[in-house]
Chains A and B, each alone.
Chain A
């Protein structure tokens, strides 16, 4: 019996000569770049974000000051690439400035929801029992509202304002994100490295910080990126209903709201700001689609 046991090829030595592995991040970036559509979408997205940030340097116009003589100039007019709005303000300028709030209201609620919902989901998933029931059943109730209706209800109650839109969007995104986190934590808890950590005498806080959070992060991240496009649409929808900014602040959803009154005069100008909502959310969806393909593959 012992003869069998002693036939040894040292595995540590043989593996030391393994070729140097490229880092995971670089591998994934290359996988992402192989998806042409995703790369194009990422470039478009970056261009839109940068243009909105750099609006004051890109546009010579004041987003608030209009020229009555130049109302509703068509797309492609000299000096006004995308025409002017119902008050004679340059549309492109307003879109670039407006994008700042629109993009923020797409991203900020998701980030806050990841922190709050992720936190709740981790607590619920880690502790099980009564704490889990309490947290998850409460969130289930929020989840049983159609998202846009819940957001409208909360926004309407809080009163108009872009920050109130962000608050209501955050509340809408907390339950699904918490659910993803909870499921992921429950799976991680079954891993033996958690048992190993427990038997080393580690406290709950340390285990969550070093063994739970980093192991659920990529799933949470992938899911959250798919929510940014949805959040952008939700927020601009609320804004479109007049629940967001008040005039004359530019914001994509609200600009559509203002321009819809002149749709019978110039339908093209009316729909221009919507192109930006559409292209941004489409690009976000394509990028997040590719991200989930690239990151979800277990590595």
Chain B
């Protein structure tokens, strides 16, 4: 399958400054992340909060400038673009944000919120409104909502508006950053299905970011697991969920409450110990080793590379590469 987006070795470190502007080290938010997004495919990115998923999305959007790396959209490196070229390319990728209460301008009507991206790209007011109506309709909002303000709408409705706004520029790629996390379960389901429908209708490629494994499993073709700014495992959804190789992925899957029983089963073995380390001072070697059940001395010395362990299935774990029985048998 053809790749529409190719992200290579993207990194971002936020520098911290002290009282008098001196450097006080940095927070490594995203560290050498690479992935590809298949055309018309959905990539799910999963990880705990603070693992750099949202920063990664903003790096691709160039809402934050990366320190290094490449973001190739149809073979054009977006990070090298500037000025009007950037503006032209920018609308090829749009984003749906996490918080439906912050992502809509409370002082603009629903219609204007959706139409604004068109104004910004030189469309006249009347034409922009017509277009905005069409997309409000596409996300299932009745016409009568157009003149309302965001505070009249529920969270799920707002998120529909946010989706309409992301689509109005007719992008090829939509990045949904925790787009359903703030919603109630029942509303979540509707919005997820809406994404599925719109994806087909408008031939979209999706990057779906969530801390919720169910959501990612439901939505994605491919999955990428992040931990503390880096990729620990990625591959086709079936592979990763059925046959997780990285101890972190295994721990995540184990800690998910069983849906069928609708009650959380106590895990037989606690696979995650301790808290997330500070990204200000990440552990040496494998970043996950401080919380890993299987960590050995060498994990502190060597940084594990992503190695292919199955058809398109990559994982970054020294122990897996060396073939450790305990890990494989889990």
Contact = CB atoms under 8 A, between A and B. Distances in A.
Q: What range describes how many residues of A lie at the interface?
A: 35 or more
A198 B103 CA distance: 12
Interface string A140-176: 0000000000000000000000000000000000000
A203 B117 CA distance: 11
Nearest to B218: A5
A274 B116 CA distance: 52
Contacts, number: 125
Interface residues of B, number: 58
A2 B189 CA distance: 9
A192 B102 contact: yes
B119 interface: yes
B169 interface: yes
A16 B142 contact: yes
B153 interface: yes
B225 to A, nearest CB: 17
B220 interface: no
A200 B91 contact: yes
Interface string A225-266: 000000000000000000000000000000000000000000
B121 interface: yes
B151 interface: yes
B243 interface: no
Interface of B: 58, 61, 63, 86-88, 90-91, 93-95, 97-99, 102-108, 112-113, 116-117, 119-121, 140-142, 144-145, 148-149, 151-154, 156-157, 160, 162, 165-166, 169, 185-190, 192-193, 214, 217-218, 259
Interface of A: 1-2, 4-12, 15-16, 18, 21, 24, 191-193, 195-203, 206, 210-211, 214-215, 217, 299
19 contacts: A1-B214, A1-B218, A2-B218, A4-B259, A6-B189, A11-B154, A15-B157, A192-B103, A195-B97, A196-B162, A197-B116, A197-B120, A200-B169, A201-B117, A201-B120, A201-B121, A210-B105, A211-B108, A215-B106
